[in-house]
A and B are shown apart, each in its own frame.
Chain A
């Protein structure tokens, strides 16, 4: 019961923050030709993206209203469903569009979806399940508030913050002021990050040379293309921000077809 009392304000806070950020970013991001694409909305056709973002934001506000104002048990279970589905969607987004940020908190969530983002949503689903199973409403949460519940809430928030790539992005913004895509970053740094990555070790045997034959930058990604065995080309994409940046790889044939799909089991911090 104490855990549920602590979880309710956390869920409410995150739903309100996420909904507000999505409402703000929906106007800019969903239009054609945007520089950065955010969130699962990229998986739907272009003309429905804005509507998808707005639906998601309004859905989050509706869940908050259902839990706090109407005090409905069904709203608590719908929150569990929402975070469970979100966990799957983020996992799928990470597999299908590795360059896209989760957009959970607007444009601050522009770093590629990593295991931490997926884990955070899973933790939120667990917290929602705790609230739903104990059926704690706002009145009961207020009446049962205690120092123990406050300590639980602080621990929960700390866990969520540790799973939030947005924290690193915020510190990076404070330090550099300019967002990653506008900062000049030496090409050599991406190469050294690549050589210490799991992807590099996994594909080292298919490379014909350790030196890239081409390297270029697009927004916050640096691409390094290496000659592969059998006339293929192995292209690595290294995200340029963060301590353990995301690395993606594809093996492409001479005719431009994908020889090997994008790796799914990638250890990334983003």
Chain B
């Protein structure tokens, strides 16, 4: 389906129902102007980080004295290699506050596990992301296995790591592995209680390059998602192009993002987020890394407690 057609859906539906046309907008409920930049590091000095952003423009960011960076583990921001792909959380305009380098998220159903010391895991990321091969280095196997005790075909896998020489290397688990096989998803809670004005659950991030969100409850006929709709949480139907209001309950930030993908894989996870409190069960939205950071999320934590509504 063409991108332009999906973008036009929101305009057309607003025209038919007399609604206001919404544009993606980050909000700063807690009074702090947080933004995010993604791009490649061109130069890094003691106080300055020079980045070529996704639009090809050069951005010069002051590194805050308290700034942290993560690239498979905590590193000083000045030690990040030139050419690293980064997502930078900025405060007050041009001050780099937190840098995540070469991040990737490996979410899917385990197809195959090979190796003895370093493990190579083949995962199915769903119809939109396809299959990918990831490596769990020996030094990370302990912390991954303690949260993924069933590292065997048919079970779900979710880890955060880095891209190193074109290979995805898992460093930390993103969640505790659900105890059921992917095809044995527990049914959503019974739909008593009528219409709900807002849905609570877990928001996660993914490697989506389009800025926006993937949402699990889309009609398969509208999205080309031939696996059908699966969701662990009770969710209403929305479509590609709908505007989704997302609130980070922990950081008390909210914003409106467009739905740009089908969260087929997110719907398989019935986990809870413990970022600030115990969230209700089920992943309700999968944000692109940039949207996730703009809403106050920490990429190494992997989730935040969220509420969603129609934007």
Chain A contacts to B: CB under 8 angstroms:
25, 28-29, 31-36, 96-99, 107-108, 110, 173, 177-179, 181-182, 184, 187, 214-219, 221, 223, 225, 233, 235-237, 248-250, 252, 256, 258, 262
A235 touches B197 (CB 8 A): no
Query: Can you name 14 extra interface pairs (CB under 8 A) apart from A98-B17, A216-B240?
Result: A28-B198, A33-B256, A34-B310, A35-B197, A97-B18, A107-B194, A110-B195, A216-B13, A216-B239, A217-B222, A219-B238, A235-B12, A236-B16, A262-B16
* Interface contact tally, CB-CB below 8 A: 132
0 or 1 for each of B189-214: is its CB under 8 Å from A? (1 = yes): 01110111111000000000000000
A187 touches B197 (CB 8 A): no
B162 interface hit (Cβ, 8 Å): no
B9 interface hit (Cβ, 8 Å): yes
| CB-based closest 5 A-B pairs | A33-B245, A178-B191, A33-B309, A181-B236, A216-B239
A31 touches B18 (CB 8 A): no
The 8 Å CB contact of B241, one of A216, A233, A252, A256, is A216
B311 interface hit (Cβ, 8 Å): yes
Chain B contacts to A: CB under 8 angstroms:
5, 8-9, 11-13, 15-19, 190-192, 194-199, 219, 221-222, 229, 234-242, 245, 247, 254, 256, 307-311
Q: In the complex, how many angstroms separate the beta carbon of A153 from the nearest chain B beta carbon?
A: 29
Chain B residue contacts of A32, Cβ below 8 A = 245, 254, 309
A219 touches B236 (CB 8 A): yes
A184 touches B18 (CB 8 A): no
A215 touches B197 (CB 8 A): no
Interchain Cβ contacts under 8 Å between A and B, 17 examples: A32-B245, A33-B247, A33-B254, A35-B197, A36-B310, A99-B19, A107-B197, A108-B194, A110-B195, A182-B237, A184-B229, A221-B17, A223-B16, A225-B9, A235-B15, A248-B17, A252-B15
Q: Given A217-B237, A250-B12, A252-B11, does the pair A99, B310 have CB atoms closer than 8 Å?
A: no
A250 touches B15 (CB 8 A): yes
The 8 Å CB contact of B12, one of A107, A178, A233, is A233
Q: Given A34-B310, A99-B19, A181-B236, does the pair A252, B245 have CB atoms closer than 8 Å?
A: no
B245 touches A187 (CB 8 A): no
CA–CA, A215 and B9, complex, Å: 9
B9 touches A28 (CB 8 A): no
Q: In the complex, how many angstroms separate the beta carbon of B125 from the nearest chain A beta carbon?
A: 24
A216 touches B9 (CB 8 A): yes
CB closest chain-B residue, reference A258: B15
A219 touches B198 (CB 8 A): no
CA–CA, A233 and B17, complex, Å: 15
Chain A residue contacts of B194, Cβ below 8 A = 107-108, 173, 179
CA–CA, A97 and B15, complex, Å: 10
CB closest chain-B residue, reference A30: B197
CA–CA, A34 and B159, complex, Å: 32
CA–CA, A72 and B256, complex, Å: 49
Chain B residue contacts of A110, Cβ below 8 A = 195
Chain A residue contacts of B238, Cβ below 8 A = 217-219
Q: Given A215-B222, A219-B310, does the pair A249, B229 have CB atoms closer than 8 Å?
A: no
CA–CA, A215 and B13, complex, Å: 11
The 8 Å CB contact of A35, one of B11, B18, B221, B310, is B310
CA–CA, A34 and B18, complex, Å: 17
B13 touches A221 (CB 8 A): yes
CB closest chain-B residue, reference A251: B15
The 8 Å CB contact of A235, one of B16, B221, B235, B247, is B16
Q: In the complex, how many angstroms separate the beta carbon of B287 from the nearest chain A beta carbon?
A: 15
A33 touches B15 (CB 8 A): no
CA–CA, A252 and B247, complex, Å: 32
Chain A residue contacts of B241, Cβ below 8 A = 216
Q: Given A235-B12, A250-B12, does the pair A181, B237 have CB atoms closer than 8 Å?
A: yes
Q: In the complex, how many angstroms separate the beta carbon of A30 from the nearest chain B beta carbon?
A: 9
CA–CA, A132 and B256, complex, Å: 49
CA–CA, A181 and B16, complex, Å: 18
A107 touches B222 (CB 8 A): no
The 8 Å CB contact of B221, one of A96, A181, A187, is A187
B236 touches A35 (CB 8 A): yes
The 8 Å CB contact of B17, one of A36, A216, A237, is A237
Chain A residue contacts of B235, Cβ below 8 A = 182
Q: In the complex, how many angstroms separate the beta carbon of A21 from the nearest chain B beta carbon?
A: 12
CA–CA, A221 and B38, complex, Å: 36
B12 touches A252 (CB 8 A): yes
CA–CA, A98 and B229, complex, Å: 29
CA–CA, A214 and B2, complex, Å: 11
Chain B residue contacts of A181, Cβ below 8 A = 195, 236-237
Chain A residue contacts of B219, Cβ below 8 A = 184, 187, 216-217
Q: In the complex, how many angstroms separate the beta carbon of A109 from the nearest chain B beta carbon?
A: 10
CB closest chain-A residue, reference B222: A216
